[in-house]
Amino acid sequence: MLNRIRSQKGLQLLIGLLLGIAFGFLLQRSGATYYEVIIGQLLLTDHTVLRLMLSAVVVGMVGVHLMRSLGWVQLHPKPGSLGTSVVGGLIFGVAFAILGYCPGTAVAAAGQGSLDALLGGTLGMVVGAGLFAASYPRLKPILNKGDFGELTLPELFKVNAWVVVVPVAAAIVGLLWWLDGVGS
């Protein structure tokens, strides 16, 4: 059944579209598509983005690992290295503050009428991705620095996934609870 659904190309494009519509709807409804909310998060005055991301991670992590334990799904951890995650992550972070949106919230902001996100951000991201594609062969020595592949934390610690899932979920819930106590 699942394999039939997963192997139908047209159906998959439709599922992608429908999941995107739900994702965009939710992002806009939370306010995370507003420049002020994202800059507020980076200035540490508005924790909407952190609350949203961490609750998505807790719910997603428990459900996906449960489905994996049942043999319904496989994980797809991204490969990485110090050169990609740290250097690329810091470049992304600087851009995050200049743009005031991330890739998903930029296109969502375009949908709510934010022209800076559409004509500046979205266009800029296409140009930037193209520049990266053009420079990719020359960047490879940096990208391969400190390569660790498709490693997950349970693999790193050589333990069952649930040994990491449970404390991480507890830590996130604790952090959110503390955040609400502190206010803002």
CA separation for the pair 50, 44 (Å, rounded): 10
Which of 71, 94, 182, 183 is the binder for another protein (CB under 8 A)? 94
Q: Which of 156, 170, 171, 175 binds another protein (CB under 8 A)?
A: 156
Residues between 32 and 91 that touch another protein (CB under 8 A): 32-36, 39, 42-44, 48-49, 51-61, 63-64, 67, 72-82, 84-91
Q: Does 166 bind another protein (CB under 8 A)?
A: no
Backbone angles phi, psi at 113, to 5 degrees: 105, 5
Buried b (16+ CB within 10 A) or exposed e, 158-172: eeebeebbeeebeeb
Q: Out of 69, 132, 170, 177, name the contact with another protein by CB under 8 A.
A: 132
Residue 173 binds another protein (CB under 8 A): no
Residue located via tokens 């995050």: 96
For tokens 């490879």, what's the residue? 140
- Residue nearer to another protein on the CB measure, 94 or 182: 94
By beta-carbon proximity to another protein, the closer residue of 13 and 170 is 13
